Amino acid sequence: MKVILPKKTNIKETGAADPLKFYYLPIVRSFYLSRFSDAIRLLGKERIDRLLEVGCGSGIFLCELAKHCNSLFACDIHAHLDLVTKMLQDESVNATLVKSSAYSLPYAAESMDAIVCMSVLEHITCLE
């Protein structure tokens, strides 16, 4: 499966932990793109009605996810969702972005048909 990324000129890093550059480097990119291909396969062949990506970062995966759903939602805690919004506009992708933590998503229970989290778990801390 060929995963489509945004044009490199349309997308910007949103923080120091953003691995964006690796998606565009020869050889290394194959590892990152294979993870996305695996995620798409796990979503199944049927089109998903409402899909949420938690921890969207720079939005690198949103262009591909948009091809597999009717309504796309994304959230992250960083302060640069404006950069993601600009990239989505430049790529003609419609998604609803919200600044939100994975701990307190602003969606009703069972309101999404699928949730995708890529490179998120390593940023989660334990709440006690």
CA distance 8 to 29: 13
Find the length of the chain. Answer: 128
What confidence tens digit (pLDDT) does each residue in 52-94 have? 999 999 999 999 999 999 999 999 999 999 999 999 999 999 9
Print the SS3 string covering the chain: CCCCCCCHHHCCCCCCCCCHHHHHCCCHHHHHHHHHHHHHHHHCCCCEEEEEEECCCCCCCHHHHHCCEEEEEEEECCCCHHHHHHHHHHCCCCCEEEECCCCCCCCCCCCCCEEECCCCHHHCCCCC
What confidence tens digit (pLDDT) does each residue in 95-118 have? 999 999 998 999 999 999 999 999
Residue 128's pLDDT band (boundaries 50, 70, 90)? low
pTM, rounded to two decimals: 0.93
Residue 120's pLDDT band (boundaries 50, 70, 90)? confident
pLDDT at 127 over 70: no
Domains belonging to the chain, first-starting first, are 17-123 (3.40.50.150)
pLDDT at 17 over 90: no
